[in-house]
Amino acid sequence: MSLVIIDYGMGNIGSIANMLKHISVPYSIESTNSEAIYQADGIILPGVGNFAKAMYLLNETGISDIIKEAVLGRKIPILGICLGMHLMCDSSEEGNVKGLGLIKADVVKFKFDHPSVLKIPHMGWSKVKVHQEHDLVNSLDIDSRFYFVHSYFVKCKEASDVLLSAVHGSEFTASFLKDNLFGCQFHPEKSHKFGIQLFRNFAQWCA
């Protein structure tokens, strides 16, 4: 089996590649090579930065259409990480532009009445709560913690799509899962043993 990491210029490609090397999962890094992406057993869509800029790059290069065909047409499993998770949604308040529309969800900004108490961005380690039984999370430690860095979060339109949640002021979606669509708000590539286990689970799910 082999995974493809999508490179559109806004992701932690090196960190993810190092994690896959560590767990001996074959991978390639692709941008507009549609055939390589279509033949992958799974896709990883990373992302760090601005939603509107990321969507511009995906649309301008034609990667958007390749991802949609791979994921919606060919049903290849996909893991969206942080901004990559956001891009899978319908829309975002960050730039007020449309996303890939792979899952019924929108991206909104944290808003607090007392910002001096709750910082934006939400940054650091947070425990997660499991909402679905699935091979992706069944083997996670009960005290699993993941590393977050984000000012925006996903609001799923269907509660059944929430896989993991965390708390920053109030509960928010830390991960969603619907069919072959898997998104994580946190950075598993920066989450040490917990992230390693999640990548192992994803690779096994794709195999």
Domains in the chain, CATH or no CATH each: 3-206 (3.40.50.880)
| Alpha carbon distance 80, 53 (integer Å) | 17
| Alpha carbon distance 181, 162 (integer Å) | 11
Q: Is 187 a catalytic residue?
A: yes
Q: Is 156 a catalytic residue?
A: no
Catalytic residue among 86, 94, 189, 206: 189
Q: 138-171 pLDDT, tens per residue?
A: 888 888 999 999 999 999 999 999 999 999 999 9
Catalytic residue among 82, 156, 184, 206: 82
| Alpha carbon distance 127, 157 (integer Å) | 23
Under a CB-based contact definition with an 8 Å cutoff, are residues 162 and 156 in contact?
A: yes
Q: 75-125 pLDDT, tens per residue?
A: 999 999 999 999 999 999 999 889 999 999 999 999 987 766 788 999 999
What angle, rounded to 10 degrees, do the helices at 192-206 and 13-22 form? 80
Q: Is 86 a catalytic residue?
A: no
Mean pLDDT for the chain overall: 96
